[in-house]
Amino acid sequence: MEFTTIKETSEQLKNKKISIKELSEIFIDRINNNLNLNAFIYFNKENIHHQITSHFDKKSLLNGIPLAIKDLFCTKSMPTTAGSKILKDFQPPYESFVTHKLLNEGAIFLGKTNCDEFAMGSSNTTSYFGSVVNPLSLKNKPLVPGGSSGGSAAAVAANLCLGATGTDTGGSIRQPASFCGVVGIKPTYGLCSRWGIVAFASSLDQAGIFTNNVNDSAILMQAIAGHDSHDSTSANIKIPNYFESINADLSGKTVGIPSEYHVPGIPEEINVVWEKAIKVLERGGVKIKNISLPHTKYALPAYYIIAPAEASSNLARYDGVKYGLRSKNNTSLDEMYEMTRSEGFGKEVKRRVLIGTYVLSAGYYDAYYLKAQKVRTLIANDFMNAYKDCDFILTPTTPSAAFPIGDKEDDPIKMYLNDVFTVPASLAGIPGISIPFGKSQQGLPLGIQLLCKHFDEQTLFNAASYLEKNYE
């Protein structure tokens, strides 16, 4: 038994083929043998043992299932750093809504996974705790796992856990899923509570899931979705049983292929995978419809105004007054702020805080922030119009395969382009899933992205399940 999927492992546990303790030891060994990946910020054997000794069995598929948690989710029994020096010793006295739900289902948390600092990055190179190495790296050439949820993606890809939580603001689940060859879903904005997730950009942040297959993704997604009265943006809707309801028969459905996602300069291998997926869908009786999402090209600039603007405000609370790092170099309040934030934040975080502060400043607000918000509305309208003609949309997830650690570091714009296919859905608040669907010429995984209407996650699981089954 390989123990790579939740569904099978759960049956083994249920049939007492293996105990939770034995299962956990397997994963502890796996993590210990892969410390070079740097996938975890917090990993402590004793902590896991303690969870097992105090474990109460739950009637759930997730009972005893070892999971990894992105270090952006506040956890009561483990520190929470958000990948930042400013929170390096922060121990929350509370459990995030999402992780609380998972614990309630009986899941075991193996540790907290590495991520870009405050989820700002597309390569997991901005973490204070060092870069994560993509487990599929070529020999002598460590590759990035993608970001910001790179540790979670890498941990799932290397079978260091059976599933992992992530957060996606502009592609932070879908992009690393694509780079690491796993399934990653960002649900509709509002499907999961943001309570207890360290905020990056509040109007875009959404919790999601990494797994090795679509079924597991549906199982975990159902577990973390649901209304929370402590989050004003949390949706109060009934959550279907995604897994039980998966119907991989897509005949009669229509897929939209947006012409704007044919971006010039993109490696041919990306389009090859896309074409292949279209063909597979067509074979399954899916009608192919060319659609237009005319404002797509404005999505990236709009995103890189809105997200930093919100971040500049969200990160103001890290000031050295109440918790987290406080610089010792302080002789005045202003100096304490300056030094704490200078020492506590990394380069990328500072860059975005500065951008965000700038675009919200008096005299610039209308030209940047307000305009970006208008673009955002247009982009959302593009999708709504498109869904009049199709049930879901198919695009590549990323404009390239995983690249070497260190690449694009000197060129933020190039780095930001990683998000070109994932950002529009984030701005529109619609759900998206990335599943592996091919290999680059170098043999690296490439993902394709499925998008659909708000709160129509079931359609995503159905289509993803079909593609997964018919991938050759």
Partner 1 sequence: MNNLIQGKTSDWETVIGLEIHAQVKSNSKLFSSSSTKFGGSPNSQVSLVDAAMPGMLPVINEYCIKQAIKTGLGLEAKINSYSVFDRKNYFYADLPQGYQISQYKNPIVGEGKVTIDFKDGKSKDIRIIRLHLEQDAGKSIHDQNPTKTYVDLNRSGVALMEIVSEPDIRSAEEAGLYINKIRTILKYLDTCDGNMQEGSLRADVNISVRKPGDDYGTRCEIKNLNSIKFIKQSIEYEAKRQINLIEEGGIIEQNTLLFDAQTGKTKPMRSKEEAHDYRYFPDPDLLPLNLEKSFIENIRKEIPELPDERKKKYIKALKLSSYDSSILTSDKDVSNYFDLVLKTHKELKDSAKLVTNWITSELFSKLKKNEITILKSPISADYLGQLVILIITDKISGKIAKDVFEEMFITKKSPNNIVKEKGLAQVTNTNKIKDIVDQVLDLNKEKVRDYKSGKTKLLGFFVGQAMKLSKGKANPKLLNQILINKLNK
Q: How far apart are CA 378 and CA 237, in angstroms?
A: 26
Q: Specify the stretch interacting with partner 1 by CB under 8 A; choose among 89-97, 258-266, 384-392, 455-463.
A: 89-97
Distance, in Å, from the CA atom of 306 to the CA atom of 301, rounded to the nearest integer, reads 9
- Cβ neighbours for 360, distance < 8 A, ≥ 6 positions apart: 309, 312, 313, 368, 369
Closer CB to partner 1, 183 or 309, in the complex: 309
Toward partner 1, which CB reaches closer, 136 or 423?
423
The length of the chain in residues reads 472
Contacting partner 1 (CB under 8 A), which of 33, 36, 89, 94? 94
Active site residues per annotation? 70, 148, 172
Establish if 93 lies at the interface with partner 1 (CB under 8 A). yes
Cα dist. 128→78, 92, 346, 347 in Å? 17, 19, 7, 10
Residue 79 in the binding site for partner 1 (CB under 8 A): no
Given 20, 48, 87, 394, the residue binding partner 1 (CB under 8 A): 87
Query: Binding residues for partner 1, how many (CB under 8 A)?
Result: 43
Which residue, 470, 393, 465, 403, is CA-closest to 425?
Answer: 393
* Residue 200 beta carbon to partner 1: minimum distance, rounded to whole angstroms: 11
Question: Per-residue string for binding with partner 1, 345-384, x by CB under 8 A?
Answer: ------------x--xxx--x---x---------------
Residue located via tokens 């879903």: 185
Among 42, 210, 337, 416, binds partner 1 (CB under 8 A): 337
Phi/psi for 268 (5° steps) reads: -60, -35
Q: Which is nearer to partner 1, 147 or 196 (CB)?
A: 196
- Tell which one of 47, 195, 330, 456 touches partner 1 (CB under 8 A): 195
User: Taking CB under 8 A as the criterion, which residues in 285-314 touch partner 1?
Assistant: 309-310, 312-313
The residue assigned the tokens 């990394």 is 346
Which of residues 77, 203, 292, 470 is near partner 1 by CB under 8 A?
203
Question: Whose Cβ is closer to partner 1: residue 105's or residue 310's?
Answer: 310
Q: Does residue 317 bind partner 1 (CB under 8 A)?
A: yes
Per DSSP, 322 falls in state S
DSSP 278-319: HHHHHHTTPEEEEE--TTGGGHHHHHHHHHHHHHHHHGGG-S
Residue type, 385: N
Q: How far is the CB of 77 from partner 1 (least distance, A)?
A: 16
* 73 versus 243: smaller Cβ distance to partner 1: 73
Neighbours of 433 (CB within 10 A): 33
Residue 197 binds partner 1, judged by CB under 8 A:
yes
Return all residues near 242 (Cβ < 8 A) that are at least 6 apart: 218, 219, 221, 222, 457, 458, 461
Which residues on adjacent β-strands are paired with residue 393? 256, 451
Binding mask 219-248 for partner 1 (x = CB under 8 A): ----------xxxxx---------------
Question: For residues 68-94, b (16+ Cβ closer than 10 Å) or e, as one string?
Answer: bbbbbbbbeebbbbbbbbbbbebebee
> Nearer to partner 1 by C-beta: 313 or 327?
313
Q: For the CB of residue 201, give the shortest distance to partner 1 in the complex, in Å.
A: 7
Binding site for partner 1 (CB under 8 A): 73-74, 80, 82, 87, 90, 92-94, 96, 194-199, 201-203, 229-233, 309-310, 312-313, 315-317, 319, 321-323, 333, 337, 357, 360-362, 365, 369
